[in-house]
Chains A and B, each alone.
Chain A
Amino acid sequence: MIYGIKSIAKRALGIDKANRDIAVYPDDTFLVSYPRSGNTWTRFLVANLIYPGQSVNFTNIEKLFPDAALCSSRALKRTPRPRMIKTHQYFDPRYPKVIYVVRDPRDVVLSYYDFQRRYRQIEDTCPLERYVDDFVSGKLVSAGWGTWAENVASWIFTRQHRGNFLLLRYEDMHTDTLREIARVAEFMGIEPDPALLQRAVELSSAKRMRQLEQAASKDWAGNRNCREDIPFIGTATAGDWRNAPADCVRPIETAWGPLMKALGYQLSTSDQTTLESQPFNPAMVPVPQGWIES
């Protein structure tokens, strides 16, 4: 009841968090990903690309490139158009233009584990194995975004190969940030000036973003009500899962193997002759069992 009154009042004042209720404009571009998939990194890269005259940091990022889950409806409405908006929502047919970042779910879960400890949503004593099981079966707080596979598949299968959709893999961004940011520039219709791209990459390095996170302190909403011994910026690496116990990897591969393979994520159970990344090909994903019964 109290909660209901609070949310009505917030809504009336325009200080509610927009989230899935966001009013969408036809010239919006959305940066979407599952949480802990490199969204903040990509956000800084893109913001530095669009605003070469500014120093992008954690205190001004919500103004330049708002997060639909952190900013109020009113703030989002006041953001100058064309807007860039960050979300973790699964498929929403209203989003006109989407950059989707996908990351190996085996790394996502490790990063999420630290993230939830940071915000005191789980205890340090929570066994990683149990956490992985909850991640796969959609029992974490992140389930509001769907499971990793639901979120990824809901965007890729609806929008891939359309001109208004750009798929980025975190791992590719890691290997060759310049090449991937050039793709973003092309998608956004920005002249890919090498100096501009280089600048964006340097200003968004993990080292620099860690400094910015420190400097922002409580001025950034993401730094409030959390533990200070676990930073927001995670390891910023690809393939950490190789050091994780097999029990934490297997449930993920069992649940989402076909989708992972289609995205070019080699399963630990298959032979590892090549780790060359392959482009995503929806045709490689087998139709889910039981979809069509002949």
Chain B
Amino acid sequence: MFGKAAYSNLVRRFSPSSAPGPYLAVQPDDTFLVSYPKSGNTWVRFLVANLVYPEQSLTLTDADRIIPFVDGPSRTYFKNMQRPRVIKSHYPFQARYKRVIYVVRDPRDVALSQYYYQIKRGVLNEQYPIEQFVAGFVEGVVCPYGSWGEHVAGWLRAGKKNPELLLIRYEDLLRDPLEGSGRIAGLLGIEANSERLTLAVERSSAKHMRTLEAKEGDRWGSTKGTRQDISFVRAAKERQWVSGLPPACIEKIETAWPEQIKELGYKTAAEALADAADGAVAQPNLIGSPSGA
């Protein structure tokens, strides 16, 4: 009556051991950590986990347990979690999520980061042309959660606003992680003094996360079974696209979503060039990251 595919669909939809995904039973006190893939979600997750549990320095696997991915562990796991829960998700706009930390990152860096991640996972080989990848990125077909532009527009403009939705720009968090952590703590209702914030920021520095990845890389959920010669925690810097992406790719992304890019305060390559010519190099946008390497 029904084939193998139908059967596995059935299991995925109803089995208590499969991930809840879009069927998660949302509780009114849940907080969701949402972003488009490769926008710094893992970093923020690690930071938040360390903020919630300051007693000890956590491993990457600990953080996965504390803030589980909605497409990761089983329904039973989510059901038995201690409330209030913080849950990681990559889904496009979900009206069901009532409290959201939304992490956004410059789409040109996201494209680059996704490209390397797919090579690490063995989905793409190193010879795969980045131009072709970016074409798919702009179409929204390289990732199961739709395109970057739709993701951002849906989450940020579909009616939710502060304080239900806290927007964290990856680049702002790089420049001033203490400020961003303070805002996150405020949303979660964590009473955080500067000592607790500093500790969480230090524990989630790119350098520390790289050390942890070296130790846990072969068993951590995000890297298990992937190429161990390429690291998951990459440069952890902004504006990697300036040197990493061919000009045609940069232009392609900039013309795909001009409104989102502008409203989020990301400068186009042309604008950044004009600023530099005006001697306005002191713009915070052009300064490298204070954290990490």
**Contact, CB under 8 Å: B162 / A12:** no
Q: How many angstroms from the CA of A90 to the CA of B162 in the assembled complex? A: 21
Check if B153 sits within 8 Å of A291, measured CB to CB. no
> Is the Cβ of A158 less than 8 Å from the Cβ of B149?
yes
Q: Does B129 contact A (CB under 8 A)?
A: no
- A147 beta carbon closer than 8 Å to chain B: yes
A90 touches B161 (CB 8 A): no
Contacting pair B263 A90 (CB below 8 A): no
Known: A4-B14, A287-B263. A150 touches B95 (CB 8 A): yes
Q: Judging by beta carbons under 8 Å apart, are B265 and A288 in contact?
A: no
CB distance from B171 to the nearest CB of A (A): 12
B156 contact from A8, A12, A92, A291, Cβ within 8 A: A291
Bound Cα distance A92, B161 (Å): 20
Contact A154 B93 (CB under 8 A): yes
The answer, yes or no, to whether B158 is at the interface (CB within 8 Å) is: yes
How far is it, in angstroms, between the C-alpha of A286 and the C-alpha of B6 when the chains are bound?
46
Number of interface residues of B (CB under 8 A): 34
A292 at the interface (CB under 8 A from B): yes
Q: A151 vs B160: C-alpha distance in the bound complex, in angstroms?
A: 11
B10: which of A8, A150, A154 is its contact (CB, 8 Å)?
A8
What 1/0 mask marks residues of chain A from 5 to 45 whose CB sits below 8 Å from any chain B CB? 00110011110000011000000000000000000000000
> In whole angstroms, how far apart are the Cα atoms of A7 and B23 in the complex?
13
A91 in contact with B263 (CB, 8 Å) = no
Query: B150, B159, B165, B263: which contacts A158 (Cβ < 8 A)?
Result: B150
Asked whether A290 is an interface residue with its Cβ less than 8 Å from the other chain, the reply is yes
Chain A residues with CB under 8 A of B43: none
A257 contacts the other chain (CB 8 A):
no
Q: Do residues B95 and A145 form an inter-chain contact, with CB atoms below 8 A? A: yes
B28 interfacial by beta-carbon distance below 8 Å: no
Q: How far is the CA of A285 from the CA of B13 in the complex (A)?
A: 39
Query: Quick one: which of A236-294 are within 8 Å of B by CB?
Result: 256, 259, 282-283, 285, 287-292
- Which of B14, B93, B158 contacts A11 (CB under 8 A)? B14
A157 touches B154 (CB 8 A): yes
In contact, A146 and B95 (Cβ under 8 angstroms): yes
**8 residue pairs from A and B, CB less than 8 Å apart:** A7-B14, A93-B150, A146-B158, A154-B95, A157-B157, A158-B150, A287-B263, A292-B167
Known: A91-B158, A138-B95. 9 other contacts (CB 8 A): A8-B14, A90-B158, A93-B146, A150-B158, A158-B153, A158-B154, A259-B159, A287-B157, A290-B167
Which A residues form the contact surface with B (CB < 8 A)?
4, 7-8, 11-14, 20-21, 90-94, 138, 143-147, 149-151, 153-154, 157-159, 256, 259, 282-283, 285, 287-292
